[in-house]
């Protein structure tokens, strides 16, 4: 199975700031990367697929990039509602494994 490692495990940033979250795969995943946002007590929400394509209705403050084994999620103009845990997932090879998540706190 492909292992997904996210970093950092948690971070805190002020309102208005920009952050970049990282996801590394144990082998190349050919841009088959998705990102999800999960707030406490809620189901995950799909943000991005194919590394950089926003799901319908997702704000343009979210963007993704990367290639090979290394991928990033960038969030700009941070607002309190962006506080959540963010997960990456590879869907190149089944099983479609998730990273362990990055918890983002907005100060």
DSSP assignment string, 11-39: EEE-TT--EEEEEEESS--TT-EEEEEE-
> From the list 19, 23, 31, 49, which residue makes contact with another protein (rule: CB under 8 A)?
49
Question: What's the min distance (Å) between Cβ of 82 and another protein?
Answer: 19
Binding to another protein by residue 91, rule CB under 8 A? yes
Dihedral of alpha carbons 49, 62, 5, 25, sign: positive
Q: Which is nearer to another protein, 1 or 18 (CB)?
A: 1
> From the list 22, 28, 32, 76, which residue makes contact with another protein (rule: CB under 8 A)?
32
Rule CB under 8 A: which of 52-71 touch another protein?
A: 55-56
Residue 36: which residues within 8 A CB-CB, separation 6 or more? 44, 45, 46, 47, 86, 87, 88, 89
Question: What's the min distance (Å) between Cβ of 2 and another protein?
Answer: 11
Contact (Cβ atoms closer than 8 angstroms) between residue 24 and residue 69: yes
DSSP state of 2: -
> From the list 36, 62, 75, 78, which residue makes contact with another protein (rule: CB under 8 A)?
36
Question: What is the binding site for another protein (CB under 8 A)?
Answer: 1, 32, 34, 36, 38, 43-46, 49-50, 55-56, 85, 87, 89, 91, 94-101
């Amino acid at each position: 199975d492909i292992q997904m490692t996210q970093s950092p495990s948690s971070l805190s940033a002020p309102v208005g700031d920009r952050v970049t979250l990282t996801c590394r795969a144990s082998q190349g995943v050919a841009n088959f990367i998705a990102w999800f946002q999960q707030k406490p007590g809620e189901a995950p929400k799909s943000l991005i697929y194919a590394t950089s394509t926003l799901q319908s209705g997702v704000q343009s403050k979210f963007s993704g990039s990367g290639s090979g084994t290394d991928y990033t999620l960038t969030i700009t103009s941070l607002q309190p509602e962006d506080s959540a845990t963010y997960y990456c997932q590879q869907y190149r090879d089944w099983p479609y494994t998730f990273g362990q998540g990055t918890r983002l706190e907005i100060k």
